[in-house]
Amino acid sequence: MADMTTEEKLQGYAELHNYGLAHLKSSALNCAVELGIPTAINSCGGEATAVDIMKKTGLVPAKLSHLRRLMRVLAVSGIFHESTPSSLAVGEQGETIYRLTPASRLLARDGKSSDMSALLLLFTRPDTTVSTFFNLVGWFRDAGTKTPFEMAHGMSPWILTKMDASYNDAMNHACVADSDFIMDIALKEASGLFQGLSSLMDVGGGHGMVAAAISRAFPQVKCTVLDLEQVISKAPDCGTVQFVVGDMFSSIPPADACLLKAVLNSWDDDSCVKILRRCKDAVAEPPI
């Protein structure tokens, strides 16, 4: 292997730092959402200084310099846009102004736009999602068939939702936020998919946000959600969606079509094939 040039060495050195410390970016974003920083900027009209953010979020003044560092990390990462007032004279220093980007706009809780903060908090949840990947070396060396999540936590995510109420709530809130966001776009861009259906089974449909959106747009479609008891028990009654407690690996009630949203992402190939076979059986049977 040929010797590297000084430029190549420095480039590699910088990339190692970037990858090795990449977890700081997601940790900083998690912190910003927990503190309510995107919401604070939004409530200031879409732009705010660190002092404004400090006041809006209730942080103590002693943390102001650290808040500026946090905002700098997130600005470099593209979560916020930063600038200084254009009216400043040459050489004059002014307070940096932070504005929302498309990503952080989705994290502002204003009751109007899509709020994806629950999904982001699930992605960056330290004790479950993040810790799943702490021992990938052990997982690769293990001859068993457990997923990294099962090796880290001793059970699948769906069993954990039954055992851990906090994780169950986090999962449900994240799924609701994701479904609300996706269906707003899907019903505008791909509404033809639901034309001609009289019944639809949302497999692993959580709290029924997807099914409810379809039901509102297509009242003639009878929408049903199939999910686990710990999920269904906390689902709100929207009046237009039927909820059924069940196991998608065992059987799926019959319908004209089965909808799978992000369900297959959590399972290995064999499990996915089994779920798809249950869906095929459900569609093949005459709907009730």
- SS3 assignment for 40-66: HHHHCCCEEEHHHHHHHHCCCHHHHHH
Please check whether residue 215 lies inside any domain of the structure.
yes
CATH of the domain at 93: 1.10.10.10
Q: For residue 74, give the nearest of 117, 106, 31, 132 by alpha carbon.
A: 31
Task: Compute the average pLDDT of residues 156-180.
Answer: 91
Q: Are residues 130 and 241 in the same domain?
A: yes
> Phi-psi bin for 113: left (phi > 0), alpha (psi -120 to 50), beta?
beta
Cross-strand partners of 200: 223, 257
Q: Are residues 173 and 47 in the same domain?
A: no
Q: Which SS3 state, helix, strand or coil, does residue 98 take?
A: strand
Domain total of the chain:
2
Asked which of 38-42, 237-241, 245-249, 254-258 is least confident by mean pLDDT, the reply is 237-241
Q: Are residues 149 and 91 in the same domain?
A: no
**Separation between Cα atoms, residue 219 and residue 161, nearest integer Å:** 32
Q: Of the candidates 113, 141, 156, which is a domain's last residue? A: 113
89-98 pLDDT, tens digit each: 444 457 899 9
Q: Of the candidates 113, 148, 170, which is a domain's last residue? A: 113
Q: Are residues 209 and 148 in the same domain?
A: yes
Q: Are residues 101 and 135 in the same domain?
A: no
Contact 100, 108 (CB under 8 A): yes
39-48 pLDDT, tens digit each: 999 999 999 9
Contacts by 278-283, CB closer than 8 A, 24 or more apart: 278/248, 278/249, 278/250, 278/251, 278/252, 279/203, 279/252, 281/251, 281/252, 282/201, 282/251, 282/252, 282/253, 282/254, 282/255, 282/258, 283/254, 283/255, 283/256, 283/257, 283/258
Quick check: 52 pLDDT over 50?
A: yes
* pTM of the entire predicted model: 0.81
Contact 113, 46 (CB under 8 A): no
Contact 52, 72 (CB under 8 A): no
Structure letter (DSSP) for residue 194:
G
Q: Are residues 73 and 181 in the same domain?
A: no
C-alpha 104: how far from chain center: 13
Q: Of the candidates 74, 90, 113, which is a domain's last residue? A: 113
Q: Are residues 146 and 274 in the same domain?
A: yes
109-131 pLDDT, tens digit each: 876 668 999 999 999 999 999 99
Domain that holds residue 95: 6-113
